[in-house]
Chains A and B, each alone.
Chain A
């Protein structure tokens, strides 16, 4: 069964450093989402792509976060500089264009900022 791939699975960094996360959605999935899940809370959408275009980045802290999906396939989420409050699980999800109700999630990247 096809899965959403994410790397790295774990990342420890010091504040003010730059970090990047990678996501490879299920083949053929046009829509890609990045979520942040703080411990004890539900996932919160950071950015949504339709192919290579950003559909919604209203909750993305644009002063330090950036996301791209240049060829409409895999995607990278970057944080520069990282802050202590960025410690969280970063989840990637994807959906088929014709069934956006079912989101398929990757295993996530757990970020710890020291």
Chain B
């Protein structure tokens, strides 16, 4: 079965520093990977996706993610963190190639300190 793991419950970073939120995946076949962000009392917002092509995917709000097949990882990155980036981040994978059902990770809380 397809799955994703987010090994860190929380990531703390100072404003202006680069940030990384980690995600590893386990899939059979080609992975369809996603990142979503959830702000307090809000629904999830789509950030970016990897379907095929370049390993570096650019998304909303200056975020990018790097697909690494050998390490089965899809880490979310941003060169310079903002306090407003503080939120809950979810990695997700499509359940199978013939469905758009998503399997979400447990989430990582990002805290950016001024």
Contacts and interface: CB of A to CB of B under 8 A. Distances in A.
Interface size class of A (residues with CB under 8 A): 20 to 34
Given A41-B107, A42-B106, A101-B32, A56 B44 contact: no
Contact of A41 (B43, B44, B45, B106): B106
Interface stretch (B14-22, B79-87, B96-104): B96-104
Interface string A28-62: 00010000000011111100100000001000000
A100 B100 contact: yes
Nearest to B91: A42
Interface in B12-58: 32, 34, 36, 41-46, 49, 51
A22 interface: no
B43 A105 contact: yes
A67 interface: no
B112 interface: no
B36 to A, nearest CB: 8
B79 to A, nearest CB: 24
Contact of A101 (B41, B51, B107): B51
B92 A42 contact: yes
